[in-house]
């Protein structure tokens, strides 16, 4: 237990000093929120629809996914290049525990990200109107973060270069954000993209968020979204634990 606490402190200090982590976690979601609200906030197809709140919820979902995939990919690639692996190998714990520890440290930063973006969304500049059950949205957000974190870990296992995993992370998360309805409303996407959205993890993350945060959709869809996120996350964790080595 002492080793795990020491490892968590090292990883947290490393994250707080890393500019890339701070930009991906805090700056990009906040900037995206303001940009999308300004671009699409007044373009609701139904005047009675609270489009701003939907945009804000979508951005929160995308921000968590974006931070997750970069946390998994960049950390492992950076550890290989800066010698951090030698430090981590000194701890008497398994590789699976190291991956889990970094995931939990990243999740702590993710919760801080959600709070910051949520508070920004509540300001008059944005005007989000959440429901009283909105805190329940932290459950799918945590699951969504872990899912994309382990996607990033897999990328770093296959492609150990920082430049490669950074490029591939963007090539994966940006199209998923568009097709999944987190960056552009599904209503304005082509029919083929709107149909494909149902097979993306960001779509299911949005589905799981909309009911508690905005009272849109159904609890059944929210529950199915959480089950999807949990199942895929577990599968990815088992794969990364099996394939991750110190080489």
pLDDT, tens only, 38-94 = 888 887 777 777 889 999 999 999 999 999 999 999 988 888 888 777 777 776 777
Query: Quick check: helix, strand or coil at residue 89?
Result: coil
Position 196 pLDDT exceeds 70: yes
Q: Given the structure tokens 């490029």, which residue do they identify?
A: 167
Helices first, then strands: H and E counts in the chain: 11, 0
Higher pLDDT, 40 or 32: 32
* pTM, two decimal places: 0.92
pLDDT at position 247, please?
62
Task: Provide the pLDDT for residue 6.
Answer: 77
Asked if residues 145 and 68 have their Cβ atoms less than 8 Å apart, the reply is: yes
Distances (CA, A) of 227 to 104, 189, 198, 204, 234: 20, 26, 14, 9, 11
Query: In this prediction, what percent of the chain has a pLDDT beyond 90?
Result: 62
What per-residue confidence (pLDDT) applies to 2? 62
Mean pLDDT of 164-186: 93
């Amino acid at each position: 237990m002492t080793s795990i606490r020491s490892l968590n402190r090292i990883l947290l200090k490393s994250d707080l000093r890393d500019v890339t982590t701070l930009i991906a976690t805090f700056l990009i979601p906040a900037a995206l929120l303001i940009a999308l609200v300004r671009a699409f906030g007044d373009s609701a197809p139904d005047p009675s629809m609270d489009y701003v709140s939907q945009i804000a919820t979508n951005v929160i979902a995308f921000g968590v996914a974006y931070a997750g995939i970069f946390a998994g990919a960049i950390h492992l690639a950076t550890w290989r290049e800066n010698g951090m692996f030698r430090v981590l190998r000194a701890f008497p714990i398994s590789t699976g525990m190291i991956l889990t520890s970094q995931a939990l440290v990243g999740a702590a930063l993710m919760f801080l990200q959600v709070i910051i973006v949520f508070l920004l969304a509540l300001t008059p500049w944005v005007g989000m109107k959440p429901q009283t059950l909105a805190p329940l949205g932290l459950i799918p957000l945590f699951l969504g973060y872990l899912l994309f974190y382990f996607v990033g870990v897999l990328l770093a296992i296959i492609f150990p270069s920082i430049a490669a995993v950074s490029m591939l992370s963007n090539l994966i998360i940006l199209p998923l954000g568009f097709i999944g309805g987190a960056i552009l409303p599904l209503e304005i996407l082509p029919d083929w993209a709107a149909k494909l959205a149902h097979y993306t993890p960001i779509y299911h993350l949005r589905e799981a968020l909309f009911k508690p945060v905005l009272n849109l959709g159904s609890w059944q869809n929210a529950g199915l979204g959480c089950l999807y996120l949990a199942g895929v996350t577990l599968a990815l964790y088992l794969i990364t634990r099996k394939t991750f080595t110190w080489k």
